[in-house]
Copies of this chain bind each other. A is one copy, B any other.
Amino acid sequence: MNFVEFRKKWTPKIDQYLEEHLKQDIDDKKISQIMTYSVMAGGKRLRPLLFLATLDSLNKDITNSEVQIACGIELIHTYSLIHDDLPAMDNDDYRRGKLTSHKKWGEAEAILAGDALLPLGIQWISEGSKSYELVEIITSAVGPNGMVGGQYLDIDSTNNASVADDEVLIDRMEWLKTGCLIEACVKMGAVYAGADENSKTNLIKFADNFGRAYQIYDDLVDVVQTSKEAGKATHKDQENGKNNTLTILGIEQSRSELTKLITEAKANLASLNNEVLTGFLDLYQKVL
Q: Which residues of A contact B (CB under 8 A)?
A: 25-28, 30-32, 35, 83, 86, 88-89, 106-109, 111-112, 114-116, 118-120, 122-123, 126-127, 129-132, 135-136, 138-140, 142-145, 148-149, 151-153, 155-156
Copies of this protein in the assembly total 2
B116 touches A119 (CB 8 A): no
Quick one: which of B108, B135, B148 contacts A88, CB cutoff 8 A?
B108
Residue pair B122, A122 in contact (C-beta under 8 Å): yes
On chain B, the residues within 8 Å of A115 by CB distance are 83, 114, 118, 148, 151
Q: Give the top 9 A-B pairs by smallest Cβ distance, nearest first.
A: A123-B139, A88-B107, A116-B144, A119-B143, A119-B139, A116-B148, A88-B108, A126-B135, A31-B152
CA distance A34 to B26 in the complex (A): 32
Contacts of A144 in B (CB 8 A): 26-28, 31-32, 35, 116, 120
A89 and B118 in contact (CB under 8 A), knowing A27-B149, A28-B149, A149-B31?
no
Question: Chain B contacts of A152 at CB under 8 A?
Answer: 28, 30-31, 109, 112, 116
A119-B132 CB under 8 A given contacts A88-B107, A108-B155, A152-B30: no
Q: Which residues of B contact A130 (CB under 8 A)?
A: 132
